[in-house]
A and B are shown apart, each in its own frame.
Chain A
């Protein structure tokens, strides 16, 4: 059996006295497109922040492929050394809700600079790769522009190109369209859909239920720091088993 791309087991995380992740486990296999839905404050963002090492787990095991990043020992998560963490960061990419492009860099440099600075790829090769990815994101001709000259949807597509350039095993999205109006949302969702068709491994935290149903293979419904329910995408949206999921989806559909 092949190793999962991401494996998280018995994750716990508290802020102050507030337990945000309660014994949460998650496995992502190669080619999986996983959507994470659920109410705000349910722990979705914290989950992504722990997976991307922006936050440290209080307890739990975390592995990327064969690379063990954190290991539960005596009730605490013990993280690997600096080299392990640096290596882990090459295995995933993260697309933020607020894009977080570097405003002083052109779109081309936003995508190419991490390749040069982190992966030590020669500048010319990095820029070639950046150009290809920007073109793929429908941004050919925008290489010399700076982020403030682009629409939110274009900025988010640059951010996706930047994450893809690093050639990650898995791409995480933290509500990638929550800062965008419906029209711009569509163009961003379209490129994510294309990536899904190419079997890019992705974990997408989203409030776009229709999109989650159409694009994801599997959906996880999270609330109160736990996975309340998970299953095949259409199945979970159309025929939720848990009362909590039903309430959430019913409220959601009313709101639409």
Chain B
């Protein structure tokens, strides 16, 4: 097989990888906020549900979760899902899983903000929403950035788990190519692309970190 053909197949795979990556972030970054707020809720049943959610999603393999979502509707309810379901179940699985992790990171950040910040804002007359948006959130973002970076980079590589659903993302493509060509080269190229992708993310995170370095507390 021509090198160009191989790169084309891996390139198509990478597009799917990037799609899973973006869709997961778009879904799980905001969903994580809800998870964190629920987990910290003073309404005990809600906090308990959030704890259970986090515990299950962090405590079972993502691969298993993906399978459960993919085949659950058929085995549990006898539903025949369309061909699109493969990608949807992948997106749902990743989003739910990453929201659990992000939620815990947000919570750690929110709870690390000293009480005095809330009290100062309260006495000055800031509303609760203003206190959160203007005072707490910007400080939380700075504090959780390293942990978020870790998780986002993990996500790049976790996208390869989509192979269990038969999605032709880059890892699945590399695996198929390697089998057909009896060669390590497709794996090596895929590895390089993953690494470069992560490198770019690292650079972006570094820039954000530098921009927020104008103060410390």
Contact = CB atoms under 8 A, between A and B. Distances in A.
A114 B214 CA distance: 21
B28 interface: no
B134 A113 contact: yes
Nearest to B119: A54
B120 A146 contact: no
Contact of A104 (B125, B130, B215): B215
Given A54-B123, A86-B125, A100 B217 contact: no
Given A54-B119, A96-B116, A118 B215 contact: no
Interface in A90-109: 90, 92-94, 96, 98, 100-104
B136 to A, nearest CB: 10
Given A54-B119, A102-B117, A117-B130, A89 B125 contact: yes
Contacts of A56: none
Given A114-B126, A118-B124, A166-B124, A100 B119 contact: yes
Contacts of B126: 114, 117-118
A231 B66 CA distance: 74
Interface in B102-121: 114, 116-117, 119-121
Contacts of A114: 124-126
A89 B128 CA distance: 14
B53 to A, nearest CB: 31
B141 to A, nearest CB: 9
Nearest to A166: B124
A101 B114 CA distance: 11
Interface of A is mostly: loop
B217 A103 contact: yes
Contacts of B123: 52-54, 89, 92-94
Interface residues of A, number: 26
Contacts of A43: none
Nearest to B142: A104
Interface of B is mostly: helix
A176 interface: no
A102 B217 CA distance: 9
B108 to A, nearest CB: 18
Given A100-B116, A102-B120, A118 B134 contact: no
B135 interface: yes
Contacts of B114: 100
Nearest to A118: B125
A96 B117 CA distance: 11
B138 interface: yes
B216 to A, nearest CB: 5
Interface in B185-210: none
B214 A146 contact: yes
A90 B120 CA distance: 13
A19 B217 CA distance: 35
B120 A96 contact: yes
B139 interface: yes
A111 to B, nearest CB: 10
A146 B125 contact: no
23 contacts: A52-B123, A53-B122, A86-B125, A89-B124, A92-B123, A93-B124, A96-B119, A100-B116, A100-B117, A102-B117, A102-B120, A103-B215, A104-B138, A104-B142, A104-B215, A117-B130, A118-B124, A118-B125, A146-B215, A147-B215, A148-B217, A166-B124, A166-B125
Interface of A: 52-54, 86, 89-90, 92-94, 96, 98, 100-104, 113-114, 117-119, 146-148, 162, 166
Can you list the 6 inter-chain pairs with the closest CB atoms, starting with the nearest?
A100-B120, A100-B116, A103-B217, A118-B125, A146-B215, A114-B124
Given A103-B139, A148-B217, A166-B125, 12 more contacts: A53-B122, A53-B123, A86-B125, A93-B123, A96-B119, A103-B215, A104-B139, A114-B124, A114-B125, A118-B125, A118-B130, A166-B124
